[in-house]
Amino acid sequence: MAQTQSINQSRLIHLNFRRSLATITDQSKLPIPEPKDCSKITPNYAKLVENLSIVQKRIFGGQPLTLAEKILYAHLWNPKEINKIVKGETYLQLKPDRVAMQDASSQTVILQFMLAGMPETAVPTSIHCDHLIEAYEGGDKDVKTAEVTSKEIFDFLKSASEKYGIEFWKPGSGIIHQIVLENYAAPGALMIGTDSHTPNAGGLGTIAIGVGGADAVDAMADIPWELKAPKIIGVKLIGKLNDWASPKDVILHLAGKLTVRGGTGHIIEYFGTGIETLSCTGMATICNMGAEVGATTSVFPFTSSMHSYLSATRRHPVAKQATSYASYLKADVNAHYDQIIEINLSELEPHINGPFTPDLSTPLSKFADFVTKNGWKDEIKAGLIGSCTNSSYQDMSRVTSLVAQALDKGVNPKSDFFITPGSDQIRATMERDGQTEILQKVGGRVLANACGPCIGQWKRTDIQENEENAILTSFNRNFKNRNDGNPSTMNFLASPEIVTAMTFAGRLTFNPLTDTLVDKDGKPFQFSSPSGDELPKHGFEKGREFYEPTQVSAGNPSTQIVIPSDSNRLQLLEPFPIWHGSEFHGLRVLIKVKGKCTTDHISAAGRWLKFKGHLENISNNTLIGALNADNEKVNVVRNVLTGEDGSIPEVARYYKENNIQWIVVADHNYGEGSAREHAALQVRYLGCPIIIARSFARIHETNLKKQGVLPLIFKNDDDYNLLSGGDIISTVGIIGLEPGKDVTIRIRKEKSDDKKKFEEFDILTKHTMSENQIEWFVMGSALNLIASKQKSTSI
Ligand code: SF4
């Protein structure tokens, strides 16, 4: 009886769900929930507009500005003191409104903030426990496991949050960027986050920038936060997305155009008539993946869908204020963009990007040929949807519309199917509206509201070690090893709709727009295009109460921060030594890296994430993904003291123990990928004062500077070819280092025709250090400088 009842109930849910798809909700008829206290999240628009008008008049003679420029310049630390802004050159000193951190990166931030000696954070700050939950059994079970395995980390972060007045979101509450979008983002605000997909909040008109932990410490310690004034790429959207295309396809397509380096040093700002056709969460997806083209961040102007989303998430006071300042929240008429790209949404087709890089973009209609040409096995092992990039109500309702069609025809997915809700609010709303039940009926496994497989926290049991296989995800990043630690997993990125439909076929060559499957009666079945509500008709369901963040009004200095003395995951930080005041001599090239070297290669995630708070232990993964140009091997370098080969961290430690400092020589865009501060901390800890590269990814370059490592760039790109592992390096120009002044590198190396003899020659390098950043280098790190200033003010 109980079973019949439950089947009937589920039919009812199914029917209701299908009926709800018949029409797209009129946003103006959505229920308006009780507003929450918005005092800490509403930008001080009057002050921002005043700041902007000072800068716009004084520096730009009143000329029109883009939205990104307006928001940045309105947040200048001292708008009356700046005299000139040259994009790509001037370092802006900024005052962010907010800081957000995830559990993996925040550990080091807190350890550093502790050294700064302040009673509470200077700006509203939140911590989100999302990265340390391994996906295995699904949902709450995995959260419970994480609460045991990462207890010391969560206890540490919770106690530190209480001490310093930080809002703490416990494991299972949701993924940082989804929570920020639902709770903290506000049009025209400036926030920074210690995660590279912080730009997600650009979908709600926020300039949100992914930074290293040291930058977060700056903002939390009320020190001006520095950013080189970015150039602005204007992306003009016209038309309207057709049925199968989704916002994800806008950025997948753009990634193919711009490549992983094309956005470096730029903010991507969207404009044009097409933006009014997009949902707020769809715009967040687009901004989220702007990180994949190296953009500083991405942003949309204030739209009616942002207004609706703010109201639906209990922030209509913010929406009301934003409406009053609407002219601040869009580009001025005739604003100048440094580059303009136009995308006609009406012509855009779904795309699939990958494998192994997010800019390898293929339109869906050409994807089957692409797969065949490459000789890949025509099989999808798993389809994964959700994550911070694509787990909005709209995403889930469109996906469920496809699954409901298949369910009706008795068609089940051929591949494993996983769903990651971005927050407990989304999870609860999906459950209430019957989406979860439909997804589960076809075997979909709903994972915890956490990063899980997106960051390698995925206990996979369906493949052998190193087995070549393909997965399709609606995530944002697809570097090798990213999802499951298996370098042979080909990971393709697509919209949640395309991932879902292709998961039913289980084949890479299946095109849901044109191809058919076979239904339970042996008849051909073709998906109709997906549809769904932008926002829930009955409002968002509140997540479970115990997932609400801790409410804080101020720090509590009497709270003891919990660090177990025998921990192998948390370790108090020691300040790095200050610069010795001389030129460097006798540095050794530890490795000349060939090709792509992302922060995943420099400091791998996956199983290493658990050592984030323990610098000594996590340093055992330093550069283990780097390809050695001398021997074409990954993580194998020659120890010049012993003459033997060893792993990179082993040899680096050996040099450190023998008081030999070392350098890395790198190719283009060194350090692209996640804003992983450890990638800088670890090399510094193991004894690296200088890295010479053909070019650096922005966030990593700044992270290196913060930790007292000098990033130098070959003046002549070909000089990269002159260096090899084991070369002996000296510097000329560190004494008297100035912004814009070149540094000479003197290289002593074995002669190729006679290994007993040496040759010596000089090459020139440049750098992007500002005066402030040179002070960081001199003091050994930015944090050393902050601590010394704290001491001098408290004397
Ligand atoms: Fe988490 Fe992935 Fe989003 Fe990063 S990109 S916050 S790992 S879900």
Q: Mind listing the pLDDT tens digit for each residue in 187-221? A: 999 999 999 999 999 999 999 999 988 889 989 98
- Split at pLDDT 50, 70, 90, the class of 749 is very high
Residues 255-281 have a mean pLDDT of 96
Q: What is the pLDDT of residue 8?
A: 43
Mutate to test the pocket of ligand 1, among 102, 175, 484 (most ligand atoms within 8 A of CB): 175
Report the separation in Å between the CA atom of 43 and the middle of ligand 1, taken as the mean of its atom positions: 26
Angle 494-499-504 from CA coordinates, rounded to 5°: 160
The verdict on whether 246 is a catalytic residue reads: no
Residue 214 Cα distances to 190, 514, 664, angstroms: 17, 50, 22
Does residue 449 have a pLDDT over 90?
yes
Q: What is the pLDDT of residue 3?
A: 40
445 pocket-lining for ligand 1 (C-beta < 6 Å):
no
Q: What is the pLDDT of residue 28?
A: 64
Q: What is the pLDDT of residue 553?
A: 79
Residues 765-788 have a mean pLDDT of 92
The verdict on whether 676 is a catalytic residue reads: yes
206 pocket-lining for ligand 1 (C-beta < 6 Å):
no
Does residue 698 have a pLDDT over 90?
no
Report the distance separating Cα 428 and Cα 449, nearest Å. Answer: 11
Residues 453-462 have a mean pLDDT of 90
Q: Which of 331, 365, 76, 371 is nearest to 245 (CA)?
A: 365
For 638-644, which contacts have Cβ atoms below 8 Å and span 24 or more sequence positions? 638/725, 638/726, 640/588, 640/726
pLDDT tens profile 212-247: 888 899 899 888 898 999 999 999 999 999 999 999
Average pLDDT over the chain, rounded to whole?
93
Tell me if 401 sits within 8 A of 21, measured CB to CB. Answer: yes
What is the DSSP pairing of strand 225-228 with strand 167-169?
unpaired
Tell me if 209 sits within 8 A of 296, measured CB to CB. Answer: yes
395 pocket-lining for ligand 1 (C-beta < 6 Å):
no
Does residue 81 have a pLDDT over 50?
yes
Residues 522-546 have a mean pLDDT of 96
Report the separation in Å between the CA atom of 435 and the middle of ligand 1, taken as the mean of its atom positions: 23
Q: What is the pLDDT of residue 795?
A: 57
Does residue 120 have a pLDDT over 90?
yes
Q: What is the pLDDT of residue 245?
A: 98
Tell me if 684 sits within 8 A of 707, measured CB to CB. Answer: yes
Q: Which residue has the higher pLDDT, 124 or 788?
A: 124
Residues 496-525 have a mean pLDDT of 98
Does residue 9 have a pLDDT over 50?
no
The verdict on whether 477 is a catalytic residue reads: yes
Does residue 5 have a pLDDT over 80?
no
Tell me if 272 sits within 8 A of 345, measured CB to CB. Answer: no
DSSP element (H, E) containing 50 = helix 45-58
Q: What is the pLDDT of residue 255?
A: 98
Tell me if 698 sits within 8 A of 210, measured CB to CB. Answer: no
Q: What is the pLDDT of residue 20?
A: 43
